[in-house]
Amino acid sequence: MEAKRSDWSVDPFTLLEKDGYFYGRGTGDDKAQAAIWVANLIRLNREGYRPTRDLIVALTADEEGGGPYNGVDWLLANRRELIDAEFCLNEGGWGEMRDGRRLLNLIQVGEKHSATYRLEVRNPGGHSSMPVPENAIYRLAAALQRVEAHAFPFRLNEVTRAYLAQLADLQGEPLATQLGQAAAGNPDAQRAVAAASPQWNAVMRTTCVATGLDGGHAVNALPQTAGARINCRILPDETPQAVEAALRAAIGDEKVEVSTTNANGASPMSPMRDDVLGATRKLTEAFWPGVATIPYMVMGGTDGRMLRQAGIPTYGVQGIFYDSADIRFHGRDERVGVREFYEAQEFLYRLVKELSR
């Protein structure tokens, strides 16, 4: 992801160690794990380690728009034999802590898929000295307010239901009870849980948000066109077409055109493999006693989606812990803790050995 120097307090593209953190664009998402995989492969090679299976490292970033020659899509289409693995360990899972206390280690077994839509309003325009009631920008603004107010229904699956239920054991009241009831399907509890955390809200439902605006062509002219970009993160069992239809219904204005500009399609959940989950739980307990290991459906996207679609089960596991109130992926002053980075390096080193003895 790009970053503007003016938005940051430090240079986003020069790695900086300060106050116990590594700062820089991508330190969390996900250059830290890329560096770990490469360093650990070098370490295993120097030690003369002989695994029982091939260990393949692929550094890709399809989900960030990496281009036609930089990713899993290209490898699957052109050199599948290089990555045709029994399963994959990937980004997408992380550790959560609060006030320095490590609470849970998430294993990503699935993810939402994304689609981007364009809202557009067209008018004849005219001179700004003679305003008319029909204004493209105002009509678009009203449509965006209706999109903002629209809430997609809560819909849990096996993974998210278990996630909320296990979270309940880590919370005080009234959240503990609300999480348990939300997992059981209580709509009032689901609303309370959604209000308590953007992350929990996004786990339980499809979400859509405006991420861009354009409109008007001159300072002294009425706008002929006004448009907005809406990015949606969609539950695995819902289609981009159904979300487009829901947006149209929520807007309720035929003069606002709604079109899909990009949709990547859903991927299946990875199976709950006893070897992968068991090894992760075992090492999590060894490194951080009392920390829960929980399968998870991530709200964003990874290129594990392409691997799952191609029949290669993918598990997002890092062992890098972040404060749940200060996750800066794609944001200003992105950072990862120095201690957390090196703990994760050793954790992933031992996990790979555990799964390849």
CB 215 within 8 Å of CB 110 = no
- Looking at 320-324, 347-351, 352-356, which range is the least confident one? 320-324
Question: CA-to-CA distance for 188 and 105, rounded, in angstroms?
Answer: 28
DSSP for 20-34, written as a single string:
TEEESTTIIIIIHHH
Tokens (6 digits) for 235: 């539950």
CB 208 within 8 Å of CB 106 = no
Residue 169: the pLDDT is: 87
Summarize the confidence of residues 34-44 as an average pLDDT: 97
Domain ranges of the chain: 5-111+300-354, 113-263
Strand, helix or coil for residue 155? coil
Burial code (b: 16+ CB inside 10 Å, e: under 16) for 312-321 equals bbbbbbbbbb
Banded pLDDT at 280 (limits 50, 70, 90): very high
Residue 30: the pLDDT is: 86
Question: 225-234 and 113-122 as β-strands: parallel, antiparallel, unpaired?
Answer: antiparallel
DSSP for 209-240, written as a single string:
EEEEEEE-S-TTEE-SEEEEEEEEEE-TTS-H
pLDDT at 162 over 60: yes
CB 80 within 8 Å of CB 307 = no
Torsion sign across C-alpha atoms 303, 308, 311, 314 = positive
Count CB atoms within 10 A of the CB of residue 44: 17
Residue 69: the pLDDT is: 60
Q: Report which of residues 240 and 324 the model is more confident about.
A: 240
Question: CA-to-CA distance for 182 and 190, rounded, in angstroms?
Answer: 5
Summarize the confidence of residues 173-188 as an average pLDDT: 96
- Looking at 64-78, 198-212, 277-291, 306-320, which range is the least confident one? 64-78
Banded pLDDT at 277 (limits 50, 70, 90): very high
Residue 38: the pLDDT is: 97
How many CA atoms, within 13 angstroms, populate the side-chain half-sphere of residue 219? 0
Segment 81-129, tens digit of pLDDT: 999 999 999 999 999 998 889 999 999 999 999 999 999 999 999 999 9
Summarize the confidence of residues 131-141 as an average pLDDT: 96
Residue 243: the pLDDT is: 98
Strand partners, 228: 119, 213
Residue 22 has phi, psi (to 5 degrees) of -95, 125
DSSP for 245-269, written as a single string:
HHHHHHH--TTSEEEEEEE----PP
- The CATH architecture annotation of domain 113-263 reads 2-Layer Sandwich (3.30)
Mean pLDDT value across the chain: 94
Residue 39: the pLDDT is: 98
Q: Report which of residues 185 and 300 the model is more confident about.
A: 185
CB 234 within 8 Å of CB 113 = yes
- Let me know if the fold of 5-111+300-354 is the same as that of 113-263: no
pLDDT at 61 over 80: no
CA angle (317, 59, 320) in 5-degree steps: 30
Summarize the confidence of residues 318-327 as an average pLDDT: 91
Banded pLDDT at 8 (limits 50, 70, 90): very high
Domain 5-111+300-354 has CATH 3.40.630.10: yes
Say which amino acid occupies 346. Answer: E
Banded pLDDT at 324 (limits 50, 70, 90): confident
Residue 70: the pLDDT is: 62
Residue 354: the pLDDT is: 97
Among 43, 166, 46, residue whose Cα is nearest residue 107: 166
Summarize the confidence of residues 234-253 as an average pLDDT: 97
